[in-house]
C-alpha cells in the first residue's frame, strides 16, 4: 500500500511539473515602458528612428527591405514583464543593427510577429512567456528617410 501511495505521489508531481514547464502564455506589454527602461535608454541608437505599426514617419526616400527578428531570453528568476522587456530590447537592437548594415536611418511598421501571428499596435508588443524562456518577434521595414 505504501508503495502505491509513493508511486501515485511521484506520478502526480511529474504531471504537475510537466504542465508548469509547458506554459506558453502570450501577453501584451507597453512599448513605451520597454523603451524607457534604463537598459533601453543606454543601448538604443537615437540615430535610427523607430516607428511602430501605423505611427506616421517622415516621408520614406527608399525602402531597403523587410526583416524579421525572433529573440529569446532566459526567464529564470525574472518576472514575465522583466524578461519581456529584456527580449524586446534585444529584438529592437537587432532591427537597428540591420538598419545600420543596410544604410537605413529608420525602422518603420514594426509589428509583433510572435509564432507568425501578427499583432499590430502603436502602444503594445506581444511576448511569449514560458516557464524557462520568453520570446519577442518583430517584423518591420528598414528605410532611408528624406
Average pLDDT (28-35) is: 99
Instruction: Between 89 and 10, name the one with better pLDDT.
Output: 89
Average pLDDT (124-133) is: 96
pLDDT tier, 10 (very low <50, low <70, confident <90, very high otherwise): low
18, three cell numbers: 510537466
CB 49 within 8 A of CB 142: no
Supply the pLDDT for residue 122.
99
pLDDT at 15 over 70: no
Residues 6+ apart with CB under 8 A from 22: 130, 131
Instruction: Between 3 and 13, name the one with better pLDDT.
Output: 3
**pLDDT tens column, 39-61:** 999 999 999 999 999 999 999 99
Q: Coil, helix or strand for 82?
A: helix
141, three cell numbers: 521595414
Instruction: Give the integer Cα–Cα distance in Å for 12 and 57.
Output: 55
Instruction: Give the integer Cα–Cα distance in Å for 43 and 20.
Output: 34
Instruction: Give the integer Cα–Cα distance in Å for 138 and 51.
Output: 12
> Which numeric CATH code is attached to 24-145?
3.30.110.70
- Counting residues of the chain whose pLDDT is more than 90, the rounded percentage is 83
Supply the pLDDT for residue 83.
97
In eight-state DSSP terms, residue 47 is: T
pLDDT tier, 22 (very low <50, low <70, confident <90, very high otherwise): confident
Supply the pLDDT for residue 14.
55
Q: What is the bridge-based pairing of β-strands 106-114 and 49-52? A: parallel
pTM: 0.85
DSSP bridge partners of 68: 139
Supply the pLDDT for residue 50.
99
CB 91 within 8 A of CB 114: no
**pLDDT tens column, 60-99:** 999 999 999 999 999 989 999 999 999 999 999 999 999 9
Widest CA span in the chain: 79
Amino acid at each position: 500500500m505504501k508503495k502505491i501511495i509513493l508511486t501515485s505521489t511521484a506520478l502526480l508531481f511529474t504531471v504537475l511539473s510537466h504542465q508548469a514547464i509547458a506554459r506558453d502564455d502570450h501577453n501584451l506589454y507597453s512599448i513605451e515602458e520597454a523603451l524607457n527602461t534604463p537598459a533601453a535608454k543606454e543601448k538604443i541608437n537615437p540615430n535610427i528612428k523607430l516607428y511602430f505599426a501605423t505611427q506616421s514617419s517622415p516621408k520614406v526616400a527608399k525602402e531597403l527591405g523587410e526583416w524579421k527578428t525572433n529573440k529569446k531570453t532566459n526567464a529564470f528568476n525574472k518576472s514575465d514583464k522583466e524578461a519581456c522587456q529584456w527580449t524586446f530590447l534585444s529584438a529592437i537592437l537587432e532591427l537597428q543593427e540591420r538598419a545600420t548594415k543596410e544604410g537605413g536611418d529608420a525602422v518603420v511598421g514594426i509589428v509583433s510577429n510572435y509564432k507568425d501571428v501578427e499583432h499590430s499596435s502603436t502602444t503594445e508588443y506581444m511576448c511569449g512567456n514560458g516557464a524557462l524562456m520568453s520570446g519577442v518577434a518583430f517584423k518591420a521595414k528598414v528605410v532611408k528617410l528624406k
